[in-house]
Structure 1
Amino acid sequence: MPSTNPHADHLLETGREPISHPEQFTALDGLTPALLADAKGRALARLQKGLAIFGDRFPAPSSENGEYPAIDNIEWTNGFWTGQLWLAYEMSGNAVFREAAEKQVQSFAERIDQRIVVDHHDLGFLYSLSCVAAWKITGNTLARSAALKAAECLYERYLPSAEIVQAWGNLNDPEEAGRMIIDCNLNLPLLYWASEETGNQRFRNAANKHIEKAMRYLIRPDASTFHTFFMDVKTGAARKGTTHQGFSDSSCWARGQAWGISGFPLVYRYYRNPQLIAQSARLTNYFLNRLPTDLVCYWDLVFTEGDEPRDSSAAAIAVCGMLELLRHLPLLDPDRQTWQAAAGAIMSQLIKHYAANSEDSGSGLLKHGVYHKPKNIGVDEYCIWGDYFYLEALLRFEQVWESYW
């Protein structure tokens, strides 16, 4: 069981838990070009099906009985749909995907102008994958403007006294004040991008402070992670580590661990602190050592066998994180070959046993995901971020991808 110390103000560890059974990642049939090509074709066909279903609207965060309800641009997850369209355009060159994605830029511009449900930290999920992507791929100036406004909105949630970006809730609410969560690792690149675009260092400085606190308090000494941690907004002192979506405050929520594996090396692109790579490596080994025999994690890493739901979305995020980690890792790192094999083996299992086929209902890409197990929301369903990261992983295996993050 992971450490239960809620105030772990330890010096950052650099030692990794050894990988227990590296041979398990080469025992299964590997990831072949034919398998990747088949997966790509299936995914693109289902995305075209989704375009016909949703039109100018968006899929909900998770499906209901295998079908995504259509929603307006109001959820924290909408960027994952537009991000899939940009990925599909890059994978296929099909202008249908580009036109649909660029049309949605207008919706995101209106959302940030009107401040429609943006009082949270997930602006990176929303605007990096929609508008920053549009700016990088097509030079869309409306997209750039909207993304910069979103970065300003995100910066408003930075609490200088605690040196964190508060996840959600009223900044003056004593019950919510000072909450950071590990998901925010992937929202920080929006601040770094805005700093590079404008030359304004306050965005970068806030992101640097937050990621330092994330490494110090969200990572336990054994390299498992808290989902959420509270800081005292008056004194800056550490308060407590808890969970919001995991099994317990002392367990390790699988998607949270995957956010850490992926987020720390994504931030390393902008902030060259070697501890970001060291900590991602530690989190990776902890994750790999707690996989079931088919290598697709349960929804919480406290479970390694039995009937608990798997979370394919966490597996897809972890694959992208390992591929990002490998880009920044020394060539002679002793775990490098194992991580390469693990990323391929997990992806192979996702393609063969979790990816949707033409006969599956709905338009989702990756079955058997979990949104919020404690609240029984989106359990054993498609999750829109799982679809996104599955597609991002396919593109990462195909080429040296220029990240939207």
Structure 2
Amino acid sequence: MKVALETLDTRYSLPQPGLDPRWLQDALAQVIRQVDVMLPRFTTTFPAASATEGRYPAVEKVDWTEGFWTGMLWLAWEVTGDNKYRAVAEGLLDSFEERLDRRIKVDTHDLGFLYSLSCVNAWKLTGNTRARNLALRAAELLYQRFNATAGVIQAWGDLSDPARQGRMIIDCNLNVPLLFWAADETGNQAWREAATRHLAQAARYLVRDDASTFHTFYMDIHSGKPLRGDTHQGFSDSSCWARGQAWGIYGFALSFTHTGDTTQPELSRRLAHYFLNRLPEDFVCYWDLIFTPDDKAWRDTSAAAIAVCGLAELLKQLPLTDPLRPAYGNAITLIMQNLHQHYFADPQDGLLREGVYNFGRNMGINEPNLWGDYFYFEALVRLSRVWTPYFC
């Protein structure tokens, strides 16, 4: 593999006691209390992508993030068994159906985030056939975004727009599981092939030789030739956007469960080393990995939470004899302890303070954001029990 494997920082080799089961249960109880604070306001609407002055505005079907709220509700139901969370999650299926029927903001690869966390998990957990059918409809729309010549799923926008054609982004690593699930459900192998080919192109072109990642890469949809990498979210085209690196860690580790390709968890490992080696003293990343403490940049707690989920998934794929397993476990412990101790939100909306949505567009800076909350919750569930990820 041409991608570099950096030697892991010695900070992660220092013995850690791990996350005590009681600590995990206490942390989960705090999360449930925060969800309960939000629940009365979001039974027919959704929290916005990011909070404003610590409080989430209510929105309807306008963004790529609504599935994270239903994902949190299903996690709360799994943890507590309380049907009030299930009732709200299933009630919100009306919104997800209307979104498909009226084609509201469905010209995006983020159909995976939207429908894996609202419908696929509802079907798996409860056998809700309506949810299954909605997820399959979403999968068909996602498949339509695949360009066979370029081998990629177009990220956003009209498929005929020359400015957007052939654009893939690292976030899509967590969207393609919708196609794998749909292929398994229906036997439609074209969906599986599209997802597999997209991941291969992401590995080839979004990952740089030093194990950092581009946010975006463009392919020529007529010839299939690679064009250029750049960023929509990071500090610069040549820097490494922290959340994008975390999407890569999680997505490539997760893809092994769908493809059986052993190069993908190995790629996840290399991205993880690059990420972990650039964490500051409290192990919670800045919003771009180019920054150091001298830059006084904003943190992105959401990227830290996603990375923990990715590391936990990577540990599932690695053999028990892998010599770096303890170091990865130590990294998980250090990140989670610091997120909980220093970044857990006050008793208001949101779970994690100090997220960054999009710095360049001045969106959601130093605020809770919905995906950060979801992945922090997922991380606690992953670490506290045997659990099947919603993206499997």
Normalized against structure 1, the TM-score is what?
0.94
Paired residue for 2:287?
Answer: 299
- Distance between the aligned counterparts of 2:265 and 2:11, measured in 1? 20
2:269 equivalent in structure 1? 281
Partner residue in 1 for 2:307: 318
Name 1:207's counterpart in structure 2: 195
**Off by >3 Å, runs of 4+ in structure 1:** 22-27
Give the distance between the partners of 2:389 and 2:44, measured in 1 at CA: 25
Q: 1:370 aligns with which of 356, 362, 366?
A: 356
Q: 1:110 aligns with which of 88, 91, 98?
A: 98
How far apart are residue 14 of structure 1 and its match? 5.7
Give the aligned partner of residue 85 of structure 1.
73
**What is the CA RMSD across the aligned residues, in angstroms?**
1.3
CA shift in 2, pair 1:14/1:239, >3 Å: closer
- 2:176 corresponds in structure 1 to 188
Aligned 8 A contact 2:343 2:352 in 1 = yes
Q: What TM-score does the superposition give when structure 2 sets the normalisation length?
A: 0.97
Q: Distance in 1 between matches of 2:357 and 2:12?
A: 31
Contact 2:357 2:363 survives alignment (8 Å): yes
Q: Given that residues 4 and 211 in structure 2 are in contact (C-alpha distance below 8 angstroms), is that contact kept between their aligned partners in structure 1?
A: no
- CA shift at 1:403, angstroms? 1.4
Deviation at 1:20, TM superposition (A): 2.1
Deviation of 1:110 (Å):
2.0
Match for residue 142 of structure 1? 130
How much does 1:24 deviate?
6.9
Q: Which residue number in structure 2 is paired with residue 40 of structure 1?
A: 28
Partner of 1:249: 237
* Superposition deviation, residue 31 in structure 1: 2.5
How far the C-alpha of 1:336 sits from its partner, in A, is 1.2
Contact 2:4 2:210 in 1 (8 A): no
Write out per-residue CA displacement over residues 203-244 of structure 1, whole angstroms, 9 at most, x where no aligned residue: 000001100000000000010000000001110000000000
2:149–2:223 contact (8 Å) kept in structure 1: yes
Structure 1 counterpart of 2:50, from 49, 56, 62: 62
State the aligned residue count: 390
Given the alignment of the two structures, is residue 380 of structure 1 paired with residue 369 of structure 2, yes or no? no
Structure 1 residues 68-118: Cα deviation after superposition (integer angstroms, max 9, x where no partner): 100012211000000000001111111111111111122212211221110
CA–CA distance in structure 2, aligned partners of residues 340 and 14 of structure 1: 23
Out of 245, 265, 272, the residue aligned to residue 253 of structure 2 is: 265
Question: 1:228 — aligned with what?
Answer: 216
**5+ long unaligned stretches in structure 2:** none
What residue ranges of structure 1 are gaps of 5+ in the alignment?
A: 1-11
- In the alignment, the residues of structure 1 paired with residue 92 and residue 384 of structure 2 have an alpha-carbon distance, to the nearest angstrom, of 26
Equivalent in the alignment of 2:206: 218
Given that 2:353 and 2:366 are in contact with CA atoms closer than 8 Å, whether structure 1 keeps it comes out as yes
Query: Contact conserved, 1:25 with 1:345, CA < 8 A, in 2?
Result: no
Question: Structure 1 residue 46: deviation in Å?
Answer: 1.0
- Alpha-carbon shift at residue 30 of structure 1 (Å): 4.8
Contact 2:301 2:339 in 1 (8 A): yes
1:342 is aligned, of 331, 351, 355, to 331
Contact 2:18 2:329 in 1 (8 A): no
Q: CA offsets, 1:165-207, max 9 Å, x none?
A: 0001222222111100000000000000000000010000000
For 2:26 and 2:363, locate their aligned partners in 1 and report how far apart those are by CA, in whole Å.
Answer: 31
